[in-house]
């Protein structure tokens, strides 16, 4: 799994406190890491709100000017970075699923389900802690009412270098029958797991299928064509 930029460093970058050379290095990392890019956008927004909330009334114009600079930084992160990244190879193992409320809709849980564990696993994934997700969900029976949680489990297994187990979880989901957008997201994780497991022929076929459709990963799937596997030597 890739190293991520710390929260403190993202704050320094948004505030313009990082020296030029290091700033370029951090921005290059953001261009290739969707997770850090998303966190950087959030930091910029938080800093913008703080400046507006704390600025004295007679200094509003100065604060607005500062916000305009931050807005420009957000524009770079939200618009330009994805454009630059779209021309690069996109690794499915670096993709983080959005954690939506229905992922752990505890009201739909059948009796006897360990709701607290499922909620904690979803929160661990939201914090980008895949090892914790795997530890919490290993050996647990996840009911069909919580199928989206299985996607988080499969993604976490891929990120912790266990693509075989990730594929097994996805197999139990019957991915082709899932509603959108879960089907596309599950297929994207499956593609990464097939690559990591060294099952290149299956990965090529899946990438071609995803690329031929109009889903959210169609464009990225085209960059997968002909890529070598990233099989873990331990597999």
pLDDT (tens digit per residue) in 159-211? 999 999 999 999 998 888 888 888 999 999 999 999 999 999 999 999 999 98
Could you give the CA distance from residue 133 to residue 121 in angstroms, rounded to a whole number? 5
- How remote is the C-alpha of 63 from its chain's centroid? 33
pLDDT at 122 over 80: yes
Q: Is the pLDDT of residue 125 over 60?
A: yes
Looking at the predicted structure, is the pLDDT value of residue 153 above 90? yes
Give CA–CA dist 185/216, Å, rounded.
9
Per-residue model confidence (pLDDT) at position 225: 60
For residue 49, what are the contacts with CB-CB under 8 A and spacing of at least 6? none
Q: What is the pLDDT of residue 142?
A: 86
pLDDT > 50? residue 4? yes
- For 73-135, give the DSSP string: HHHIIIIIHHHHHHTS---GGG------GGGG-GGGPPTT--HHHHHHHHHHHHTT-HHHHHH
Sorting pLDDT into bands at 50, 70 and 90, what band is 3?
A: confident
pLDDT tops 60 at residue 11: yes
174 or 51, which is more confident: 174
For residue 235, the model assigns a pLDDT of: 38
Q: In the numeric block, which tokens belong to residue 157?
A: 């297994």
- Looking at residue 70, what is its pLDDT? 53
The candidate with the shortest Cα–Cα distance to 2, out of 84, 91, 94, 89, is: 94
Contact criterion met (CB below 8 Å) for 30 and 36: yes
Cβ atoms of 192 and 95 within 8 Å: the answer is yes
Residue-level pLDDT at 157: 97
Length of the chain: 235
For the stretch 221-235, pLDDT in tens is 877 665 555 554 333
What the block records as the tokens of 150 is: 């299985």
Global pTM?
Answer: 0.59
Sign of the torsion formed by the C-alpha atoms of 80, 158, 145 and 103: negative
């Amino acid at each position: 799994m890739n190293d991520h930029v710390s929260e403190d460093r993202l704050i320094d970058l948004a505030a313009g406190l990082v020296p030029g050379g290091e700033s370029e290095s951090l921005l290059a990392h953001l261009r290739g890491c969707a997770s850090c890019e998303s966190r950087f956008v959030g930091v910029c927004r938080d800093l913008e709100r703080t400046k507006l909330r704390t600025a004295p009334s007679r200094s509003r114009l100065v604060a607005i000017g500062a916000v305009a600079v931050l807005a420009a930084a957000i524009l770079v992160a939200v618009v330009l970075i994805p454009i630059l990244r779209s021309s690069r190879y996109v690794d499915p193992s670096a993709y983080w699923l959005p954690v939506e409320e229905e992922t752990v809709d505890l009201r739909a849980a059948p009796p006897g389900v360990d709701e607290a564990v499922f909620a904690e696993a979803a929160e661990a994934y939201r914090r980008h802690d895949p090892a914790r997700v795997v530890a919490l969900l290993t050996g647990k029976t996840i009911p069909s009412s919580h199928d989206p949680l299985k996607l988080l489990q499969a993604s976490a297994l891929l990120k912790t270098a266990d693509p075989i187990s990730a594929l097994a979880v996805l197999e139990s989901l019957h991915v082709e029958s899932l509603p959108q957008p879960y089907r596309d997201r599950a297929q994207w994780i499956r593609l990464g797991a097939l690559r990591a497991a060294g099952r290149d022929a299956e990965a090529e076929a899946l990438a071609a299928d995803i690329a031929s459709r109009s889903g959210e990963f169609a464009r990225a799937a085209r960059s997968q064509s002909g890529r070598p596997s990233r099989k873990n030597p331990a597999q």
